[in-house]
Amino acid sequence: MIDNVALILGTTLMYSTPLIFTAMGGVISENSGVINIGLEGMMVIGAFTGATIGYFTGNPWIAFIGAGFAGAIFGLLHAIACVSFGANQVVSGIAINFLGPGLALFLSRIFFDGATMTLSINLDNKMPRPLSGVFSQDSFMYYFLGNRYATVYIALILVFLLWYVLYKTKLGLRIRAVGEHPTAADTLGIDVYKIRYLSVIFSGVFAGFGGAALSLAIVSNFRPTLVSGHGFIALAAMIFGKWKPQGALLACLLFGGAQGITVFLGQYDFKVSSQILSMIPYVLTMVILVGFVGRASAPAADGIPYDKEQKY
């Protein structure tokens, strides 16, 4: 029994990791006042770039950073639209959700001889598993952490770092100030544009990492259906977590945990059909939202373009 718990926890971590990265992307962007619906598209381009660079260089770290870089380019695009040109942020995000997959598939066909699926990276060239072989086979810790990739720990560290930056540093204070009261922040001498650019670009970086966590750790290749919906789940988790890194983390873990339980229950022959079981994670999320979390409010200036000339 205890093994099963360990396995469910392990599955939870595995499933949540890409979501955590991406949700952090949402957190940083929206705290600075820019809505980012484009997380899904940024994740796709990250997953593709990660798998491609990983395949050609054989180095997972270069691939991972490359994925972040690809995400950053889309982040920059979003920032140019939303910060410099006062775009409707939702609209720009939706555009990115079309552009990301479109470009990823287009490039894939060019790099991989017409294929929309990249070639598989072998185990040694994937992300390392730091605790592989540390625990004895069949122990609790083996099932819990033995097979987890470095991306899991990086995601957790990222959450902590982001929390620290947002709430314990001057920069974080500025980001939040820009997200709540850009006008006031401006009068205090904070460069609203610069802060927003920075936040949105990093948002792309994190979402790109999220995609790479799928294509470099959970599996070892990219295919067009790999991301299918994870970005939107991460977006939901970010809102669920009330726009806070720690809250989003919990929401992602909850979702991953529900998937773990679904897989666990699926091995038994129930009267309940597997389609109903598959609904569990989604229903559970809604129930918890209604019952325990309650009202969520975004940063005050979230979604509102800031225009220096139109102050007051």
Partner 1 sequence: MLRKRTILFISVLVIVLVIAGCGQAKKETKIKVAMVTDVGGVNDQSFNQSAWEGLQRAEKELGVKISYVESNQDADYKPNMETLFDAGNDLIWGIGFKMAETLGEVAKLNPEQKYAGIDCFFENPTPNLVGILFKEQEPSFLVGYIAGKMTKAKKVGFVGGMDFFVIHKFHYGFMAGVKYANPECKILAQYADSFTDAAKGKAIANQMYKNGADIVFHAAGGVGDGVIEAAKEQNKFAIGVDRDQNDLAPANVITSAMKRVDNAMFNLTEDLVKGEYPGGTNVVYGLKEGAVGIAPTSDKHVPQDILDEVDKVKEMIISGELVVPSSLEDYKKWMK
Partner 2 sequence: MNKRKIYNFFSNKVFLFTLISILAGLIIGAVILLFAGFNPLRAYAIIISGVLGRFKYISYTIIKATPLILTGLSITFAFRTGLFNIGAEGQFIIGAITATAVGYFLHLPAIIHIPVVIISATIAAGLWGGIAGFLKAKFGVHEVISTIMLNWIALYFQNYLVYMDGFQKPGGETSYSIQPTASIKLFGEWKLSDAGFAWFNSNPFLRDLFKTPVNFGFLFAIVAAVIVWYILKHTTLGYKLRAVGFNKNAAEYGGINVSKSMIISMTIAGGLAGLAGAVQVMGVTHNVSLLAAMEGFGFDGIAVALIGNCTAIGSVFAGLLFGALKYGGTKIQPAMGAPSEIINIVIGTIVFFIAIPRMISLLIKRFSKKDRL
Cα 73-77-82 angle, rounded to 5 deg: 145
Task: Please name the amino acid found at residue 183.
Answer: T
Which window, 30-38, 77-85, 186-194, 272-280, contacts partner 1 (CB under 8 A)?
272-280
CA 306 – CA 179 distance, rounded (Å): 10
285 near partner 1 (CB under 8 A): no
Which of these, 155, 180, 167, lies nearest to 31 by C-alpha position?
Answer: 180
- 115 is an interface residue for partner 2 by CB under 8 A: no
Range 92-114 burial, b when 16+ CB lie within 10 A, else e: bbebbbebbbebbbebbeeebee
Closest to 237 in 3D by CA, of 22, 9, 15: 22
Residue 214 found at the interface with partner 1 (CB under 8 A): yes
Residue 2 Cα distances to 5, 16, 77, angstroms: 5, 21, 48
Here the tokens at position 103 are 């470009």
Least CB distance from residue 200 to partner 2, whole Å?
14
Binding partner 1 (rule: CB under 8 A), the pick from 259, 285, 302, 305 is 259
Residue count, binding to partner 2 (CB under 8 A): 50
Picked from partner 2, partner 1, none, the partner binding residue 134 (CB below 5 to 8 A depending on kind) is none
Residues at the contact surface with partner 2, assessed by CB under 8 A: 77, 81-82, 85-92, 94-103, 105-106, 109-110, 225, 228-229, 232-233, 235-236, 239-240, 273, 275-276, 278-279, 281-283, 285-286, 289-290, 293-296
Residues at the contact surface with partner 1, assessed by CB under 8 A: 3, 7, 10-11, 14-15, 18, 109, 114-117, 119-120, 122-123, 129, 143, 147, 214, 218-221, 223-226, 228, 259-260, 263-264, 266-267, 274-275, 277-278
